[in-house]
Chain A
């Protein structure tokens, strides 16, 4: 596709439910990043992949959060047993190989609301 695609655009769930957020990066992009953004705050790093390898997951807040990118393309961020504090905008970004921060493109995000 032309840009980074995220789905769903909005997700409302009840506390305790599991959710899966999907990111489809720009075709050919090697690196894929997940960020979380609370209202009025800057994006907070969660994890990133080069191809299918998860290079850094230091930003995942706890073990309820996990991410995968099994074929080096589409990635899924899963939150188990959701809590109200998980409510935020979840953003995905992708970039070509190598340190290419000027070619880092973000998706429109998934707005997660946990009731």
Chain B
């Protein structure tokens, strides 16, 4: 059963903000939202995570709706190097769980 739903692909102009949506309507109270990305043939790379509050780090911002049923990853000033597949993952922090990647969103930054 897929815990998250993401659009298969998106385009964004270079220099603009890229907003990647994720639906997780069955998220439970102890589950976090994690975002990873995978650039070309590299391994997945952690971006950001959150529980219910909005989060920001040097890479991105994460906006989680009040009901926690959806979230948006924001890359504020997209560059060509941000072209990648972005995965939204819901998982608890109790441990002994594995990260389950779906098919993600293929983000293409347009020059």
Given A101-B49, A108-B42: A42 and B101 within 8 A (CB)? yes
Task: Determine whether A91 belongs to the interface, using a CB cutoff of 8 Å to chain B.
Answer: yes
Q: Pick 21 A–B contacts, CB within 8 A, sort by A.
A: A4-B43, A33-B98, A35-B101, A42-B101, A42-B103, A43-B101, A44-B101, A45-B99, A56-B96, A91-B43, A98-B95, A99-B92, A99-B94, A99-B95, A102-B34, A102-B46, A106-B43, A106-B45, A107-B43, A108-B43, A109-B41
Given A106-B44, A108-B43: A101 and B99 within 8 A (CB)? yes
Query: Number of A residues contacting the other chain (C-beta, 8 Å)?
Result: 26
Q: Type the 1/0 row for B39-53, where 1 means its CB is closer than 8 Å to any CB of A.
A: 001111110010000
Q: Type the 1/0 row for A20-62, where 1 means its CB is closer than 8 Å to any CB of B.
A: 0000000000000101000001111100100000011001000
Bound: A103/B94 CA distance, A: 15
Which of the four size classes fits the interface of chain B?
Answer: 20 to 34
Given A56-B96, A91-B43, A108-B42: A101 and B91 within 8 A (CB)? yes
A-B contact count (CB 8 A): 55
Bound: A45/B91 CA distance, A: 14
Tell me, rounded to whole Å, the shortest Cβ–Cβ distance linking A72 to chain B. Answer: 17
CB closest chain-A residue, reference B87: A42
User: Which chain A residues border B45 with CB–CB below 8 Å?
Assistant: 106
Contacts A98-B95, A101-B49 supplied; 16 other A-B pairs, CB < 8 Å: A35-B101, A42-B38, A42-B85, A42-B101, A42-B102, A44-B101, A56-B96, A93-B44, A99-B93, A99-B94, A99-B95, A101-B91, A101-B99, A102-B49, A104-B99, A109-B41
Q: Type the 1/0 row for B78-107, where 1 means its CB is closer than 8 Å to any CB of A.
A: 000000010100011111111111111000
Given A91-B43, A102-B46: A41 and B91 within 8 A (CB)? no
Check if B43 sits within 8 Å of A41, measured CB to CB.
no
Check if A59 sits within 8 Å of B93, measured CB to CB.
no
User: Which chain B residues border A104 with CB–CB below 8 Å?
Assistant: 46, 99
Bound: A107/B103 CA distance, A: 20
CB closest chain-B residue, reference A93: B43
